Amino acid sequence: MNSPLDSSVLFTVGPVPISTSVATVWAIMVILSIVAVVVRRGLALVPSTTQALFELVVDAVDSQIRATMRVDPAPYRAFIGSLFVFILVCNWSALVPGMEPPTANLATDAALALLVFVAVIWFGVRAGGVRDFLATFASPSPVMIPLNFIESLTRTFSLLVRLFGNVMSGVYVIGIVLSLAGLLVPIPLMALELLTGAVQAYIFAVLAMVFIAGAIERDKT
């Protein structure tokens, strides 16, 4: 059995090896962009069925941001919404025969977690300057500065490990059951994996919201 920590090389561009998961991510990015552009072109005041479906998704993201962060969702809708939709499509791409979800690879999850780490700093600085953002590290008392600092690193790491562990373990459980029991037996497990994939995408987005909300929160007193 292949190690889940390695990645297989699909082809090389010059000296740079391109792994299978990177190629899958590119394909998913292209498909999502094309869908977004096509849906955007057909926007109308009286929505078609497709538009209503996509508006439902945007509304759901908006209401989640409003409920979790208690701020106007407009500045965060693009980032949180893309994170959620991208991870969801990545997790569910396992349904396509022969495809392995790119989130079952450590590198993809590391990139996503790094994005959240940078976004927390970006939104925190944008909300009220560098000084105020750094002041959030001393938030209950200055004694907490080293702990808050370490926490901002470890929570990024746990974000990465959580998504990787869940998706990769699902892939492996299905693979093991398939090799032991044979065709059609792992279908209930695949259904469970769909649920896990959706829940993990939701949790990743909610945790990104919680981290950003912590960075933009200002002491009112």
Considering Cα of 186, then 191, then 192, then 197, what sign does the dihedral take?
Answer: positive
Q: Which amino acid is at 66?
A: R
Contact call for residue 206 and another protein (CB under 8 A): yes
Residues 8-67 interacting with another protein (rule: CB under 8 A): 64, 67
Length of the chain: 221
Closer residue to another protein, CB minimum distance, 86 or 211: 211
Contact call for residue 169 and another protein (CB under 8 A): yes
Q: What share of the chain is helix, strand, coil (3-state, %, to 5)?
A: 75, 5, 20
Contact call for residue 128 and another protein (CB under 8 A): no
Contact call for residue 145 and another protein (CB under 8 A): no
- CA–CA separation, 206 and 157 (whole Å): 16
Strand partners, 19: 9
From candidates 61, 88, 166, 211, binder to another protein by CB under 8 A: 166
The closest of 164, 32, 166 to 89, measured between CA atoms, is 32
Contact call for residue 202 and another protein (CB under 8 A): yes
- Kindly list the residues in this chain that would bind another protein in the complex (CB under 8 A): 3-6, 64, 67-68, 158, 161-162, 164-166, 169, 199, 202-203, 206-207, 210
